[in-house]
Amino acid sequence: MNKLNGTEDISGSAARKAFMRSFMIQAGWNAERMQNLGFLYSLIPLLDGASPEDSRDILLRHLEFFNTHPYMAGALAAAVGKMEKNGEEKATIRAFKQSMMGPFGALGDSLFWFSLKPVAVLVGVVLAMAGQFIAAVLAPLILYNVFHLWMRVWSYQGGIKEGSKLISRISGFRFSIINALLGMTAATAIAVLVVCELGTGGGLFGAGEWDVASCALAAVVVFLAAVASRRGLRPVTLLYLAAGFGLIAALGVP
């Protein structure tokens, strides 16, 4: 947080206040213009020093539709605040905001929701299988939030200092490589938890230690479930089908 020292035109306290408010970007999310209220809420401290007329004009302009990834919205609000303070053209600011929210949303979704989160929570599940209660709860929280908070601060700082040039800071980040590495780590974690859950007999739901052939069969069942899920079978249907098979198999055995 100490890095948010502000700039000549935006004071450190205003920058810090706006940053804290960016954690509430999804509050006020509405079906009509989505994150616009949260975006305004984060922008307000950055308009500190503007005349009431200018401030009102800026707020009314930014009541338009806005939606991006919640972690990246703060950086966009900071960049827009900086551009407003610099007195840039209204059309330029609007074009920047409108053109950036889509790519920032896609970037945040792929990096956080589809890459980092699976790895963090799967680490928790593997630790849960090992019976490590505290580690299973804390490890995902720490793994995820250290990177997530760093990314928020780093991108926000870019917005405050560089305004519309924020994009050059973000594009220097090798997202595709990070996403691929995280995705492969998550797949590895699933393989580990399937084989260990059944192979060691010490897992969460393991009914005793299984032999190698049973473990291989289980790994294939997981693979088939994944294929069925990818092909559009609803997760809840798959869950009840699995339970049904289990019940039929067990009740069929005298």
Partner 1 sequence: MTIAQLVVPVIVGGIAELDRTSVFHGMLSEPIILSPLVGYILGDPVLGLKIGALLQLFFLGMVSVGGSSPPDGAMAAVAVTSAASLATHYTAVPHEVALPVAVLLVMVPAGRIGKAIDARLKESNVALLHKAEDDLETNGAGVVEKAIWKSVLKTFCTYAVAVAVVASAGTLITSFVLAILPQGWWKALEISGSLLMMASAGIALASLRERRAFLVYASVGICLLLLMVGLK
Of the candidates 205, 103, 189, the residue with the CA atom closest to the CA atom of residue 139: 189
Tokens of 116: 């980092």
Told to check if 120 binds partner 1 by CB under 8 A, we report yes
Binding span for partner 1 by CB under 8 A among 77-85, 153-161, 162-170, 202-210: 202-210
Which of 19, 41, 96, 156 touches partner 1 (CB under 8 A)? 41
- Binding test (CB under 8 A) with partner 1, winner from 46, 76, 83, 186: 186
Lookup: tokens for 47: 């308009």
Stretch that binds partner 1, among 1-9, 52-60, 83-91, 164-172 (CB under 8 A): 52-60
Residue 78 found at the interface with partner 1 (CB under 8 A): no
Q: Which of residues 99-118 bind partner 1 (CB under 8 A)?
A: 105, 109-110, 113-115, 117-118
Residue at token pair 């338009």: 64
Q: Is 192 in the site for partner 1 (CB under 8 A)?
A: yes
Does 6 participate in binding partner 1 (rule CB under 8 A)? no
Beta strands in the chain (DSSP E): none
How many residues of this chain bind partner 1 (CB under 8 A)?
102
Task: Give yes or no for a contact between 182 and 175, defined as CB atoms under 8 angstroms apart.
Answer: no
Q: Which residue has the tokens 């580690």?
A: 135
Return d(Cα 158, Cα 162) in angstroms, integer. Answer: 5
Does residue number 175 form part of the binding site for partner 1 (CB under 8 A)?
no
For residue 124, the number of C-alpha atoms closer than 13 Å in the C-beta half-sphere is 16
